[in-house]
Protein backbone atom coordinates (compact mmCIF):
# COMPACT_ATOMS: atom_id res chain seq x y z
CA UNK A 1 0.00 0.00 0.00
CA UNK A 2 1.42 3.36 -1.01
CA UNK A 3 0.14 6.13 1.24
CA UNK A 4 0.00 9.49 -0.55
CA UNK A 5 0.01 12.71 1.44
CA UNK A 6 -0.86 16.06 -0.23
CA UNK A 7 1.41 18.93 0.77
CA UNK A 8 2.32 22.56 0.22
CA UNK A 9 5.22 24.58 1.61
CA UNK A 10 5.63 27.66 3.80
CA UNK A 11 5.78 30.03 0.83
CA UNK A 12 2.61 28.40 -0.61
CA UNK A 13 4.32 28.11 -3.98
CA UNK A 14 4.10 24.32 -4.15
CA UNK A 15 1.20 21.95 -4.54
CA UNK A 16 2.07 18.28 -4.49
CA UNK A 17 1.98 14.77 -3.10
CA UNK A 18 4.61 12.75 -1.24
CA UNK A 19 4.45 8.95 -1.24
CA UNK A 20 6.53 5.86 -0.62
CA UNK A 21 6.90 3.23 -3.34
CA UNK A 22 9.13 0.19 -2.88
CA UNK A 23 12.50 1.69 -1.83
CA UNK A 24 11.90 5.26 -3.05
CA UNK A 25 10.32 8.35 -1.58
CA UNK A 26 8.56 10.22 -4.38
CA UNK A 27 7.71 13.92 -4.46
CA UNK A 28 5.25 14.95 -7.20
CA UNK A 29 4.59 18.68 -7.27
CA UNK A 30 3.85 21.76 -9.35
CA UNK A 31 5.31 25.19 -8.73
CA UNK A 32 2.73 27.96 -8.41
CA UNK A 33 3.65 31.54 -9.30
CA UNK A 34 2.37 34.62 -7.45
CA UNK A 35 -0.20 35.05 -10.25
CA UNK A 36 -1.51 31.51 -9.88
CA UNK A 37 0.18 30.01 -12.92
CA UNK A 38 1.18 26.38 -12.43
CA UNK A 39 4.33 24.85 -13.87
CA UNK A 40 4.63 21.46 -15.47
CA UNK A 41 4.54 18.62 -12.95
CA UNK A 42 7.91 17.73 -11.39
CA UNK A 43 8.65 14.24 -10.11
CA UNK A 44 11.58 13.64 -7.77
CA UNK A 45 12.47 10.06 -6.89
CA UNK A 46 14.69 9.78 -3.82
CA UNK A 47 16.08 6.32 -3.02
CA UNK A 48 15.66 5.49 0.67
CA UNK A 49 19.42 5.01 1.00
CA UNK A 50 19.74 8.78 0.38
CA UNK A 51 16.99 9.75 2.86
CA UNK A 52 18.30 10.75 6.27
CA UNK A 53 14.92 11.23 7.99
CA UNK A 54 11.24 12.02 7.49
CA UNK A 55 9.97 13.59 10.71
CA UNK A 56 6.34 14.16 11.62
CA UNK A 57 5.51 17.25 13.71
CA UNK A 58 2.05 18.13 14.97
CA UNK A 59 1.72 21.60 16.50
CA UNK A 60 -1.49 22.48 18.31
CA UNK A 61 -1.62 26.09 17.11
CA UNK A 62 -1.06 25.37 13.39
CA UNK A 63 -3.72 24.37 10.87
CA UNK A 64 -1.17 22.06 9.28
CA UNK A 65 1.05 19.21 10.35
CA UNK A 66 4.67 19.23 9.25
CA UNK A 67 6.73 16.60 7.49
CA UNK A 68 10.42 17.51 7.60
CA UNK A 69 12.45 15.65 4.98
CA UNK A 70 16.25 15.47 5.24
CA UNK A 71 18.36 13.86 2.54
CA UNK A 72 22.04 12.97 2.32
CA UNK A 73 22.54 14.30 -1.20
CA UNK A 74 21.78 17.98 -1.88
CA UNK A 75 21.04 17.34 -5.55
CA UNK A 76 17.66 15.74 -4.82
CA UNK A 77 16.16 18.90 -3.31
CA UNK A 78 17.87 21.41 -5.61
CA UNK A 79 14.69 21.97 -7.66
CA UNK A 80 12.30 22.15 -4.67
CA UNK A 81 11.31 25.73 -3.74
CA UNK A 82 11.67 26.35 -0.03
CA UNK A 83 14.36 23.72 0.47
CA UNK A 84 17.17 24.81 2.77
CA UNK A 85 20.22 22.79 1.87
CA UNK A 86 19.42 19.13 2.43
CA UNK A 87 16.13 19.79 4.23
CA UNK A 88 12.62 20.76 3.18
CA UNK A 89 9.51 21.23 5.33
CA UNK A 90 6.23 20.08 3.82
CA UNK A 91 2.93 21.37 5.21
CA UNK A 92 0.02 18.89 5.21
CA UNK A 93 -3.58 19.66 6.12
CA UNK A 94 -4.71 18.40 9.51
CA UNK A 95 -7.23 16.03 7.95
CA UNK A 96 -4.27 14.07 6.51
CA UNK A 97 -2.37 13.91 9.81
CA UNK A 98 -3.04 10.19 10.29
CA UNK A 99 -1.71 9.32 6.85
CA UNK A 100 1.24 11.71 7.30
CA UNK A 101 2.12 10.09 10.64
CA UNK A 102 1.82 6.63 9.09
CA UNK A 103 4.08 7.62 6.18
CA UNK A 104 6.73 9.10 8.51
CA UNK A 105 6.62 5.99 10.71
CA UNK A 106 6.90 3.68 7.70
CA UNK A 107 9.90 5.58 6.29
CA UNK A 108 11.57 5.59 9.72
CA UNK A 109 10.93 1.85 10.07
CA UNK A 110 12.44 1.15 6.64
CA UNK A 111 15.49 3.31 7.43
CA UNK A 112 16.05 1.51 10.73
CA UNK A 113 15.53 -1.85 9.07
CA UNK A 114 18.12 -0.95 6.43
CA UNK A 115 20.58 0.23 9.09
CA UNK A 116 20.31 -3.05 11.01
CA UNK A 117 20.58 -5.28 7.95
CA UNK A 118 23.26 -3.26 6.18
CA UNK A 119 26.88 -4.34 6.53
CA UNK A 120 27.76 -0.75 7.39
CA UNK A 121 25.62 -0.70 10.52
CA UNK A 122 26.10 2.53 12.53
CA UNK A 123 26.71 0.54 15.74
CA UNK A 124 29.57 -1.93 15.45
CA UNK A 125 30.26 -4.53 18.16
CA UNK A 126 32.63 -3.11 20.73
CA UNK A 127 31.95 0.51 19.71
CA UNK A 128 29.71 1.26 22.70
CA UNK A 129 31.44 2.85 25.71
CA UNK A 130 32.08 0.54 28.63
CA UNK A 131 30.62 1.66 31.97
Q: pLDDT tens digit string along 72-87?
A: 999 999 888 888 989 9
The predicted model gives 95-99 an average pLDDT of: 91
Kind and range of the H or E element at 46? Answer: strand 42-47
Confidence category of residue 129, pLDDT binned at 50, 70, 90: low
Q: Has residue 62 got a pLDDT over 90? A: no
More confident residue, 79 or 63: 79
Domain boundaries, the chain: 4-117
Confidence category of residue 131, pLDDT binned at 50, 70, 90: very low
Cβ proximity of 24 and 46 under 8 Å: yes
Q: Could you tell me the fold of the domain covering 4-117?
A: PH-domain like (2.30.29)
Q: Has residue 119 got a pLDDT over 90? A: no
Residue 46: beta bridge partners?
25
Q: Global pTM?
A: 0.81
Amino acid sequence: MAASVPFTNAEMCLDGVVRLEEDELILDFMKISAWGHKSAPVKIQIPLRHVDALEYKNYFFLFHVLLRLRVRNLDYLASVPGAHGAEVTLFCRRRYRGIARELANLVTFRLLERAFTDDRSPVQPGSLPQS
